[in-house]
Amino acid sequence: MDTGNEHITVEKKKEIGIITINRLEARNALNRKMLHELGDTLTCLENDLQIRVVIITGNKDFCAGADIKEMNEIKPEEIESFCRWGHKVINQIENMGKPVIAAITGFALGGGCELAIACDIRIAGKAAKFGQPEVNLGLIPGFGGTQRLSRLVGIARAKEMILTGKIIDAKEAESIGLVNRVVKDEELMIAAEEMAQVIAQKAPIAVKMAKTLINENQEIERGLEKEINLFAQCFATRDRPEGINAFLEKRKPEFKGI
């Protein structure tokens, strides 16, 4: 389906809409244009009566997070609205009236991991890797990760991932409940489409209501709002440019806590 998008493509296979993130040169890192394209694509699929299930995947990698180079150019006074916008797009996935399956290949880091955990179900290829490495940049997760990860894997595991920034493999991700299932990399889309097909055969209104009710239990809004606020505060510290510049210069950061 030609959407005119540059980095977010969409293919329709009967009742299944497949969104692919495609920005190979930056490991599918999300810039502002891509967030825009992703939001528009989700709206299209939400309104498309033929589509019953959505799959989100990536070309080679799932997504290495927000575009760090672009983020470095955002002024501290503008970061809150950027973060709020990211939340809006990620919330669209969670609040969509159709199930969304993440089919994860390669890296799902930072905002990419947050994108995956906002989906209803996650299937990973064996070589997939997950992490919330924002602390390495002097930041915190800013697309809902501080709230959704602990609900998914428990507070202890979420704290370990977010505070150490460590990257875990698909097997560990499965063992802590971060992904539903791990399959051979070459069978990832087959497995995701099979599961999507099973759900697509069920009664759409019942599926939508079940999803809505399970999400209702999460009571996430207050924490999400606070995350936006504290992300902006972190972004205003001097450790943030140190962390981001260290990444861009491929060196270790020296954080001072100011």
- Residues labelled as active-site residues: 114, 134
Residue 65 beta carbon to ligand HXC: minimum distance, rounded to whole angstroms: 3
- Cβ burial, residue 165 (10 Å; 0-12/13-18/19+): middle
> How many Å is the Cα radius of gyration of the chain?
17
Question: How far is CA 36 from each of CA 17, 25, 154, rounded to the nearest angstrom?
Answer: 18, 19, 31
| Residue range at the interface with ligand HXC (CB under 6 A); choices 26-34, 178-186, 190-198, 215-223 | 26-34
Q: Does the footprint of ligand HXC cover residue 89 (CB under 6 A)?
A: no
Nearer to ligand HXC, 16 or 224 (CB): 224
Element containing residue 16 per DSSP (H, E): strand 16-21
CB 139 within 8 A of CB 228: no
Does 162 bind ligand HXC (CB under 6 A)? Our answer is no
What strand order describes the sheet that includes 167-169? Answer: 107-109, 129-131, 167-169
* Residue 137: CA count within 13 A, CB half-sphere: 25
* 64, burial (CB in 10 Å: exposed 0-12, middle 13-18, buried 19+): buried
* Torsions phi, psi for 156 (to 5 deg): -65, -45
DSSP H helical segments within 167-248, as ranges?
170-175, 188-200, 204-216, 221-235, 239-248
Nearer to ligand HXC, 17 or 110 (CB): 110
- State in angstroms the smallest separation of the CB of 63 from ligand HXC: 8
Member of 7, 58, 62, 67 binding ligand HXC (CB under 6 A): 67
Among 133, 138, 243, 253, binds ligand HXC (CB under 6 A): 133
- Rounded Cα distance, 258 and 255, in Å: 8
Tokens of 214: 């399970």
Question: Which residue among 42, 56, 66, 162 contacts ligand HXC (CB under 6 A)?
Answer: 66
The Cα–Cα gap between 256 and 258 comes to: 6
Contact string (CB under 6 A) for ligand HXC, positions 169-208, x = contact: ----------------------------------------
Within residues 41-60, the interface with ligand HXC by CB under 6 A covers: none
Which residue is nearest to ligand HXC, using beta carbons?
Answer: 110
Is 27 an interacting residue with respect to ligand HXC (CB under 6 A)? yes
Q: Of 19, 53, 83, 158, which lies in the binding site for ligand HXC, with binding defined by CB under 6 A? A: 83
Label the pairing between strands 129-131 and 121-125.
unpaired
Whichever of 45 and 71 has its CB closer to ligand HXC, that residue is: 71
Of 136-144, 149-157, 174-182, 208-216, the window that binds ligand HXC (rule: CB under 6 A) is: 136-144
User: What residues line the site for ligand HXC (CB under 6 A)?
Assistant: 26-27, 29, 64-69, 82-83, 86, 107, 109-111, 133-134, 137, 142-143, 231
